[in-house]
Amino acid sequence: MRPLDGVVVVSLEQAVAVPYATRLLADLGARVIKVERPGTGDFARHYDSSCGDVSSYFAWTNVGKESVSLDINHSDGRDVLDRLVARADVLLCNLSPRVWARLGLDLPASLIVGELSGYGWDGPYADRKAFDALVQSETGLVSLTGEGDVVARAGISVADIAAGVQLHAAVLAALLQRGRTGSGVRLRLSLFEAMAEWMHQPMLYAAGTGAAAPRSGAHHPSIAPYGPVACADGAVHLAVQNDGQWQRLCGLIGLDAEERFATVASRVRHREELQKLLERAFCAMTAAELLAALDAVDVPAALTRSITELPTHPQLSTWVDVRIPGGSVRMLPPPVAGFEWAPGAVPDLGEHNDAVLRWLGYSDEELSSLRVRSVL
């Protein structure tokens, strides 16, 4: 038994945030029925063309789901949706608040409903479009990311991931609560609020100091040495966080106590001088030699690797082949061990129409009629 075996999740989802939440639920055993537009489906299917017939985003966030293509604006399509909702334990949605309200679904009292919006359901931004990079900008993340005068968005969809993880956790809590009370709950979350929650630390730092931490590229804005240091064949990322680690690093390179490097704050003030000193000390060492030397004196460090090296990382020993439309890809299992996990396929658009509608009680004749009327 997997933790969510028997739990039925119906999701009116697209893009990344809600699909990521439902992917996490599917990993735990939930039956996730993904409702997509006939003909086009979730627009994230075609963000890129790196994974068979679907994008890397879609392959990542839709493992183990069932796809039903359905015109929910057609009266017969609406009947199918109503039957799905009646059979569901969880209903998730990231349609716009206006479209979601227009549906006017009859929601059972025991149903757990999760609604994701861009900026929330009221306030001056309620009707604005919200995508990951826009939310990174609005919450201040872009202003903190980069180096010097150059700003940058984070290299992955952090706002979508933040919202997906928080929605996933909220659904699990709601299922636990329903098990005690028998009652469902209506959960509401926005991309903006999910990202704003992650921005607490830099926000508190700015409020307490009167200024945002400076953009410092791959280096930590308020700790040094904490970032990449060049060596003979690449770079090693240092993470010196306390006096003991600093003293051991000084012993490794033969650096005597100096006032300008005596505290974390003074090392940050003299970061450029310290960086040059370290790189002179390490310039003749390869990254592997430097990492071994740092490990030997217990100074935290890591290799600075390319994303192309991640599939061959020595710490990642377990990979699985996942079927996708047009082929298969190698993926990692969930990062938390302890539950059984067997990856389902990434579905073709409408691949499970017949199976799901028969489960809902539709006859073959009714299915044929729905197809003729382009409902599916």
Catalytic residues: 160
Residue 370, CB-side half-sphere exposure with 13 Å CA sphere: 26
Give the total residue count for the chain: 376
- 249-280 burial by CB neighbour count: b if 16+ within 10 A, else e? bbebeebeeeeebeebeebbebbeebbebbee
Note the maximum CA span of the chain.
85
Tokens 């001056």 -> residue: 124
Residue 1, Cα to own-chain centre: how many angstroms? 26
* 3-state SS track over 189-231: EEHHHHHHHHCHHHHHHHHHHCCCCCCECCCCCCCCCCCEEEE
Pick the closest to residue 31 from 61, 8, 63 (CA basis).
8
Which residues 6+ apart lie within 8 Å of 56 measured at CB? 47, 48, 50
Paired with 113 in beta bridges are: 91, 186
- Kindly state the DSSP code that residue 374 receives in the 8-state scheme: T
Per DSSP, the three-state class of 329 is strand
Main-chain dihedrals φ then ψ at residue 70, nearest 5 degrees? -155, 130
Q: Among positive and negative, which fits the CA dihedral 279, 217, 248, 292?
A: negative
Distance, CA of 168 to CA of 367 (rounded, Å): 33
Residue 174, CB-side half-sphere exposure with 13 Å CA sphere: 25
H runs (alpha helix) in 4-131: 17-27, 56-61, 75-87, 97-103
